Amino acid sequence: LQTRMQSLQPDPKAQYRSVYEALKKIVLTEGFWRPLRGINVTVLGAGPAHAMYFACYEKMKKSLSDTIQHGGNSHLANGIAGSVATLLHDAVMNPAEVVKQRMQMFNSPYKSVLACIRTVQKTEGFSAFYRSYTTQLTMNVPFQAIHFITYEFMQEQINPHREYNPRSHIVSGAIAGAVAAATTTPMDVCKTLLNTQENIALSSVNVSGHLSGMMNAFKTVYQLGGISGYFRGVQARVIYQMPSTAIAWSVYEFFKYFLTKHKLEKRT
């Protein structure tokens, strides 16, 4: 839904006024499973990407907090650790995101994930899978910095003793995801344009060939939609990120608690 709603020059049959209308229209006209197209490639990439992401975050957060605040909880350390972890995460997820978004566009010509990968590789080259990588990082580095700082701040407010408390992890994760998602929507719109290379949108502003580069994307989005163009799909993005970050943090905190407890029991 987010990909469709961020389309800058959508087909008349793919114009939506709200998340609910978009979901209803897609299901009725294109089938029940249509909104989930390309999710399999995202799931495949998410496992290794999140494993590297949280491992890097935890290690860096501890090292930097010891250096900056001598073992205390440093917001600066949280932000830096989250930003560095993003570099590894996005290196895995960027190609998956390109495939997913191309398959989710209206009248997408790709029948399967493999067909999409082969066609993009053949017609645009391997670099097409990383065309939006710098924009992705420009968006995700501040996103993750805001996300981790907000999560750790919320934990300080509602779970000051940092005990294993599923409700506090879910609430903190959801709020952190919502704040970070809303703040970085303009960069996400640019990333979607770079990933999908919307032909109708690009030709309407006389862009020939492939659009590349964050600055070009920002200019093109402004030409097509003005200031409001940067916030297309903000509602869908926030709705998507809130459960996503809530689940990610609750699962992460559970395994952290489970493994730490198991380690202590083993020692005693």
In this structure, which amino acid lies at residue 247?
A: I
pLDDT score of 213 more than 80: no
- Please report, in angstroms and rounded to a whole number, the separation of the first and last CA atoms in the chain: 51
* DSSP letters for 112-155: SHHHHHHHHHHHH-GGGGGTTHHHHHHHHHHHHHHHHHHHHHHH
Least confident among 86-90, 115-119, 199-203, 211-215: 199-203
Within 8 A by CB and 6+ apart from 167, the residues are none
Instruction: Please state, in angstroms and rounded to a whole number, the distance separating the CA atoms of residues 23 and 148.
Output: 30
Task: Check residues 68 and 151 and name the one with the higher pLDDT.
Answer: 151
Joined tokens for residue 136: 């992705």
DSSP state of 110: -
Do residues 242 and 177 touch, judged by C-beta distance below 8 A?
A: yes
The kind and range of the H/E element at 161 are none
Q: Return the sign of the alpha-carbon dihedral for residues 119, 121, 127, 132.
A: positive
Which of these ranges, 29-33, 66-70, 101-105, 225-229, has the smallest mean pLDDT? Answer: 29-33
Residue 36 in this model has a pLDDT that exceeds 80? no
Scan for tokens 């809530």, then name that residue.
246
Between 181 and 21, the higher pLDDT residue: 181
The CA distance from 234 to 161, in Å, is 34
> pLDDT value at position 86?
87
CA-CA distance, 143 to 237, in Å (whole number)?
12
pLDDT bracket for residue 105 (50, 70, 90) = confident
Q: Is the pLDDT of residue 6 over 60?
A: no
Tell me the C-alpha distance between 78 and 225, whole Å: 35
What digits encode the pLDDT tens for the residues 157-191? Answer: 999 998 999 999 999 999 999 999 999 999 888 88
Residue 172: the pLDDT is 97
Whether the per-residue pLDDT at 34 is higher than 60: the answer is yes
Q: Positive or negative, the Cα torsion across 122, 124, 126, 132?
A: negative
Residue 253 pLDDT exceeds 70 = yes
For residue 101, which of 127, 132, 135 has the smallest C-alpha distance?
132
Determine the pLDDT at residue 99: 84
Which amino acid, residue 221? V
- The per-residue pLDDT for 38 is 60
Determine whether 258 is exposed, middle or buried from the number of CB atoms within 10 Å of its CB (0-12, 13-18, 19+): exposed
CA dist., res. 163 & res. 140, Å (int): 28
Q: What pLDDT, on the 0 to 100 scale, is given for residue 145?
A: 87
The mean of the pLDDT values for the chain is: 81
Q: What is the pLDDT of residues 37-58, one digit of tens each?
A: 666 667 677 778 878 888 888 8
